[in-house]
Every structure is written in C-alpha cells, then in structure tokens.
Chain A
Amino acid sequence: MLPAQFDGLMPVVIFMALAILLFVGGHFLSVLLAPKKPSLLKSTPYECGEQPVGSAWSMFNVRFYVVGLIFIIFDVESVLMFPVASIFKELNQMGQGTYALLIFLSFISVLIEGIAYCWRKGDLDWVKSFQASLKKETK
C-alpha cells in the first residue's frame, strides 16, 4: 500500500517552510525579549568609528563580473553533461561505450578550449591582468 508517488517532493517544501518558520520564530522571540533602544549612533554603518563617507553602493570592480561570466558558462556546460554522465554506465554496458566517450570528449574539449583561452588572455588572473596588459603595450 504505497502512497501517491508524487509526494516525494513534499519534504523539499517542508524543509523550506521550516527554514522560513525558524527565521520568523527566532525573530519573534528576539522582538519579544530583546531590548529596543535605537539611537542614531548605533544605527550608523560601522566604519571603524569614523563618520561613514558616502554610500557603499558605488564601489565596483569589473573583475567580479568576469569571474561570474566564466562561471555561468561552465555551470551551463556541466548542467548539460549531467544527463549524459548519468547514462554513461548504461551505454557502456550496452556496448556503446566508445560512442558515448566520443560524444563526451568532444563536448569537454570545447570546454577545455574555453578555459585555455581565458587562461591565455589573463582573465583568470585576479590582480595581474591589468598590469600585464600595460606591460604589453609599453613594449
């Protein structure tokens, strides 16, 4: 007498709801028990005791974006590899292992090209890429 199969997704929802409930409950307790004496000095952003200068929402560095960019491409490639990887054993037992390997390797080789390109062009360096490009131009 098995329950309906789809209920397998129920724990996921229950855990998410529990996380939110825990936050709300903890927050409620804290509101109930914690003192509440706000002052301007307390709610100033911490800047080592100095008066904060300007808003923090202006500092940026393009390298963070470049890292995110390389990440998303690799992320998508690994997502596409997952279903193929999970049937690789099955294909191998069916005697089609070489074919699967060929497809898999040709997919990965393009991935390797991508990382090799980024490495060569210095996108994987955190600090030196700007200096390296400067050095190249002065030569």
Chain B
Amino acid sequence: MMSLASYLIISLVLFVVGLVVMIARKNIVAILLGIELILNAAALNFVAYSRYVTNNLDGHIFSLFIIVVAAAEAAVGLAIVIRFFQIKETIHIDEATQLRN
C-alpha cells in the first residue's frame, strides 16, 4: 500500500483541488490558498521520488526551497491583496482590471 503510486495519487488530488480552487473562487485570498495546495503537491512529489527512485537527498533540498519560495510568495501576494483591498474596498478578482489607478 505504501508505494510511490499512492503518494502520487495523493499529490494528484492536492494538485487538482488546488487548480479547481484557483479557477472557481473569486476571492484573491482563496486563490492564493489554491496556489499553496499546488506547491504542496509538487513538494510531496519531489520527496516521494527522492525516497523511491533516486535515493538521495536532492529532492528534500528541492522541497525545502519550494517551501521557502511558497512563504515568500504568500507574504508578497497577501501584501498585494491587502493593498488592493485598501484601494478598491473589495477583493473580488474581477475588480482587478487596471494596472494603475
């Protein structure tokens, strides 16, 4: 039961749900939430492959940096969301139509 395939299936579910959340939700915070799910799916894949296929730690390093980049991305993305809310008083994604006010 614990094999590469089961990890890949879990990762697939994470990825698909993340994608659907990104497409279906109109709230920018929810879209960032979907991005986090997708990044987790990728990191899980890296670690699973590094255990079952390559048997070295490069996959671990890669998922470590994925987590780092995800944190930086969340920080900047949520800062943009908050600034957007201060200007537009909403965080509906369809309201974001202008590059500058």
Residues of A within 8 A of B (CB): 62, 65, 69, 72-73, 75-76, 79-80
Chain B nearest Cβ from A76, distance in angstroms: 5
* CB < 8 Å neighbour of B82 from A62, A76, A80: A62
Chain A nearest Cβ from B78, distance in angstroms: 7
Residue B71 is within 8 A (CB to CB) of chain A in the complex: yes
Are the CB atoms of B79 and A69 closer together than 8 Å? Answer: yes
**With the chains together, A104 CA to B82 CA distance in Å?**
34
Main DSSP-derived SS at the B contact region: helix
**With the chains together, A62 CA to B86 CA distance in Å?**
10
Chain A nearest Cβ from B90, distance in angstroms: 14
Q: List 22 A-B contacts (CB under 8 A).
A: A62-B82, A62-B86, A65-B78, A65-B79, A65-B82, A69-B75, A69-B78, A69-B79, A72-B71, A72-B74, A72-B75, A73-B71, A73-B72, A73-B75, A75-B71, A76-B67, A76-B68, A76-B71, A76-B72, A79-B68, A80-B64, A80-B68
Q: Which residues of B contact A69 (CB under 8 A)?
A: 75, 78-79
Q: Which residues of B contact A76 (CB under 8 A)?
A: 67-68, 71-72
Q: Which residues of A contact B74 (CB under 8 A)?
A: 72
Q: Which residues of B, 66-99, contact A by the 8 Å Cβ criterion? A: 67-68, 71-72, 74-75, 78-79, 82, 86
**With the chains together, A73 CA to B71 CA distance in Å?**
8
User: Which residue from chain B places its CB closest to the CB of A80 in the assembled complex?
Assistant: B68
**With the chains together, A103 CA to B90 CA distance in Å?**
45
**With the chains together, A73 CA to B76 CA distance in Å?**
11
**With the chains together, A73 CA to B64 CA distance in Å?**
14
**With the chains together, A79 CA to B71 CA distance in Å?**
12
**With the chains together, A21 CA to B74 CA distance in Å?**
34
**With the chains together, A73 CA to B82 CA distance in Å?**
18
18 more contacts with CB within 8 A, not counting A65-B78, A76-B68, are A62-B82, A62-B86, A65-B79, A65-B82, A69-B75, A69-B78, A69-B79, A72-B71, A72-B74, A72-B75, A73-B71, A73-B72, A73-B75, A75-B71, A76-B67, A79-B68, A80-B64, A80-B68
**Chain B CB within 10 A, most for which of A76, A79, A80:** A76
User: Which residue from chain A places its CB closest to the CB of B83 in the assembled complex?
Assistant: A62
Chain B nearest Cβ from A32, distance in angstroms: 39
